[in-house]
Amino acid sequence: MLQKLSILILFTTLSTFSFANDKNEKVRVLMEAQGLLSMFEQQLAMGEIQSEKMGKQVIDQIMAQLNPNQEFQNRFTAAFQTFMKKVANPYTAEQIVEVWSKYYGGEFASSELDKLIDFYTSDIGKKEVSASKVAITKFTEHFQTLNEPLMKSAMNEYISELKIAAKECNCAKK
């Protein structure tokens, strides 16, 4: 009896894992068909561009008040590069699919995902639009929540490092 129960539990676990992987794969295919995966990747890339712009603005403001020699220019550049590494996008396409599948894919059965992949102008297409609106908010909040402490910490360290270098430089413009 115990052996049969163990086999049943193992089979159920493997079936659930297989079903989840199948559903994630269907969501990935659907995301690609709808252009969502590339859109999310573009949004993450735009975030990196914005971080770089913000970091350069900070260093430009500091440099406008200083006249550092090469050693300190190098330190400021190194601080900027460290900042950019800390705020670089750490998420892969697979992680994006996994999170989207969590918030979006759970709204659909596997057979519904098949219909969406094939053709989503029917009633199921309307459901897809509705689920997308709900999921995109949660998805965006998810990554904003993950990034917020990273950005705050990196920015504080960046500013501190620049202040230390500026103080040690003793090269304020006259």
Q: What is the DSSP letter of 121?
A: S
Q: Kindly state the percentage of the chain with pLDDT values over 70.
A: 83
Q: Is 104 exposed, middle or buried (0-12, 13-18, 19+ CB in 10 A)?
A: buried
Per-residue model confidence (pLDDT) at position 142: 92
Count CB atoms within 10 A of the CB of residue 162: 22
Can you say how many angstroms the Cα of residue 53 is from the centroid of all Cα atoms in its chain? 18
Residue 60 Cα distances to 53, 54, 64, 147, 152, angstroms: 10, 10, 6, 24, 19
Per-residue model confidence (pLDDT) at position 15: 45
When pLDDT is cut at 50, 70 and 90, the band that residue 44 belongs to is: confident
- For 49-90, the DSSP string reads HHHHHHHHHHHHHHHHTB---HHHHHHHHHHHHHHHHHHS--
Reported as a single tens digit per residue, the pLDDT across 49-64 is 888 888 888 888 888 8
Asked if pLDDT for residue 114 goes beyond 70, the answer is yes
When pLDDT is cut at 50, 70 and 90, the band that residue 13 belongs to is: low
Asked if pLDDT for residue 16 goes beyond 50, the answer is no
Answer with the residue of higher pLDDT: 124 or 117.
117
The CA distance from 155 to 163, in Å, is: 12
Asked if pLDDT for residue 1 goes beyond 80, the answer is no
Give the global pTM. Answer: 0.50
Asked if pLDDT for residue 17 goes beyond 50, the answer is no
Q: 66 with 172: CB under 8 angstroms?
A: yes
Q: 58 with 162: CB under 8 angstroms?
A: yes
Answer with the residue of higher pLDDT: 96 or 33.
96
Q: What is the mean pLDDT of residues 17-26?
A: 71
Residue 68's region, left for phi above 0, alpha for psi from -120 to 50, else beta, is: beta
